[in-house]
Structure 1
């Protein structure tokens, strides 16, 4: 009954909110490819921690009505569906007893806009844009010293582009990544020219990776600085993440230079430090300097947002409508399962129950042994 009520509520919200939704611009679709390439490398950066055994994620947005993401072009307004279908997989295994872990990875995202909703085969209409971005490579890590290196290629495949969009063709990029303790350096190249350089410092101490579970070191900041060599002037992106309380309440701020300045801010609450569930309040600054407030809820298999900053930035500027994403994302290590950037692994109730049952059975066995020893004991009597 509860599931039916939630399904009806989500459907009702999707039915009502298209009235207030903004249209997607041709420009936002033109630049979505480069945003996706950077997003895949940033997600890999979070997933690739020396000692991680694997990461798997899959997701797609559910937009039931063609009026939720209408396209505005020089020919007018067009009903249709913006889409993002993504999948990520990373697996690593030890190399014998050497202490090294060897891994492989594949990130893929299919995105764009089409005049009909689809899962596999788009319509490829006269205003459609369909592209896919692949990031693949190999990793080598030495968990004992928290050292890691990775490298590979990024391939952007253009399936369909209408005449209203900028000229675009298939392209191949090379990328490299190095991790040493809390420091990460990442870069990519295209046709002999560098495209981006990123330096990240995760100073926050996390129990998941052998750090502290509480104390002042858990309140150190995490920051990321990325320099991008685009078609125009170079640009700089700076983001900061700060633990505010018990590694469950975080603030995130993003700043872009030379354009925009302040870009977005988020306040995220995680009921558990494993980061599998979150409640978000966000603020996003538009190009006209207007501030858009929103929020969202992330569950293990579902994410719902309204004017969420990540949707505005990563889903072609969409706002004014409820966004529903069917998703699943989970990392694993020897300590258990967790979400990206987590400080601790998720509490495993099954392990706790098993341990309790084992302790109870051991206790009963010990008591039984004591009784048996008492029954078989030798009683001595004084001679008269």
Structure 2
């Protein structure tokens, strides 16, 4: 069988090697701005998961590029071979109070960066490396009867190492965030001291069965909108823009469309078609389109990609998710080993799941099958238990019980 495996190995090696040869480098500027987008992605996930504040959730993942030519770095000195890594962990747990309100604790952690030497968890910190981490934590209070929830917490951004080619960056920054939800409307904000970083307004109109809504019908086709107003400092200047995201169920909560625009100048950012074989979202397939350079009226730089998400592995090529979460990575295969699971009561689902996974045991009733509880049936038409033997039907089978004769105590003649 070795001669059969050998061609397959050669073909797989050629495909993987070709994907690294034609990979595009990541820019120093993109990695330098990575902390801003890490914090924003955390809060976006927190806002979505607070919809499920009466449950628990865990998400852990690891990105690793094994080849130095897979995602090289581009700086003013040229291109440098190196490695990108990203690890993330999200945990949310809820506790039911005596007044039927819910107290939720949450923790998000992410660590990512680029280094010139191969590393998985411990980088070598060379001249072109940058490694940072962001930790987001907080608490939420939810009143299901009034459809109200409020959450607040802090974000810590810590820089482990900054190479010589990157702009100067504080080694530790502290941010405050808050999130308020009333019904299906929510508002979220983030501050650094007195500086407003962003304001996000979300409307989640789509019914979700895991939250007590409908599993089918017109309410499951209502749209979800996310409007985020960013105010960030870039090169000493404030850069303000608005990002609008529209998510739409297209068929049976299995097929979704997603569209993102940046205002007022940048226009189209990305679009995606996502298919989930089951609304629990443990498995997904997506086709995406993202514009690599935010230049108004420039439609010539569209990048098309795809991704396959399995319970323990995600494979992406030029997909918008990897582009937005991994320093605009493109032109190569990106693997993520991950695990995520949400639970509400006895319902299990993946991140963003609309319905519970079909894992519950169903009882099958057969025709003419007796109940497990014992049933006593007389062998004769007389119902007197002392005058006739009886048959007892149990779950294990049939046994006979013989009643004692009425004159047994008087002796025989």
Q: Which moved more, 1:54-63 or 1:339-348?
A: 339-348
Gaps of 5+ in 2: 385-413
Normalising by structure 2, we get a TM-score of: 0.84
* Residue of structure 1 equivalent to 2:193: 191
Provide, for residues 270-298 of structure 1, a one-character-per-residue CA deviation record: whole Å limited to 9, x for no partner.
00011111110100112163111110100
Q: CA deviation at 1:317?
A: 1.0
* Residue of structure 2 equivalent to 1:175: 177
**Paired residue for 1:314, among 319, 325, 333?**
325
* Residue of structure 2 equivalent to 1:366: 371
Normalising by structure 1, we get a TM-score of: 0.90
Distance 1:45 1:246 in 2: 24
**1:375 correspondence with 2:379:** yes
Is residue 51–residue 143 contact of structure 1 (8 Å, CA) maintained in 2? no
* Residue of structure 2 equivalent to 1:284: 290
Q: CA deviation at 1:180?
A: 1.4
Distance 2:138 2:120 in 1: 26
**Paired residue for 1:208, among 194, 210, 213?**
210
* Residue of structure 2 equivalent to 1:98: 99
Secondary structure at the counterpart of residue 377 of structure 2: helix
Provide, for residues 213-252 of structure 1, a one-character-per-residue CA deviation record: whole Å limited to 9, x for no partner.
2111111100000001111221101000001001110000
**1:234 correspondence with 2:244:** no
User: 1:367–1:189: structure 2 CA closer, same or farther, 3 Å change rule?
Assistant: closer
* Residue of structure 2 equivalent to 1:108: 109
Is residue 55–residue 91 contact of structure 1 (8 Å, CA) maintained in 2? yes
Aligned-residue Cα RMSD (Å) equals: 2.4
* Residue of structure 1 equivalent to 2:140: 139
Q: CA deviation at 1:108?
A: 0.7
| Higher RCO (CA < 8 A, seq sep 6+) | 1
Gaps of 5+ in 1: none
**1:250 correspondence with 2:233:** no
Counting matched residue pairs gives 369
Distance 2:118 2:350 in 1: 30
Is residue 109–residue 134 contact of structure 1 (8 Å, CA) maintained in 2? yes
Distance 1:198 1:299 in 2: 30
Provide, for residues 58-97 of structure 1, a one-character-per-residue CA deviation record: whole Å limited to 9, x for no partner.
10113111110100111121111112111111111112x2
Distance 2:226 2:278 in 1: 24
Is residue 53–residue 104 contact of structure 2 (8 Å, CA) maintained in 1? no
Q: CA deviation at 1:12?
A: 5.8
Provide, for residues 187-212 of structure 1, a one-character-per-residue CA deviation record: whole Å limited to 9, x for no partner.
01101121111000001122221222
Q: CA deviation at 1:367?
A: 8.2
Distance 1:107 1:311 in 2: 18
Q: Which has the higher helix share?
A: 1
User: 1:379–1:106: structure 2 CA closer, same or farther, 3 Å change rule?
Assistant: closer
Q: CA deviation at 1:325?
A: 0.5
Distance 1:54 1:379 in 2: 57
* Residue of structure 2 equivalent to 1:166: 167
User: 1:313–1:98: structure 2 CA closer, same or farther, 3 Å change rule?
Assistant: same
Secondary structure at the counterpart of residue 98 of structure 1: coil
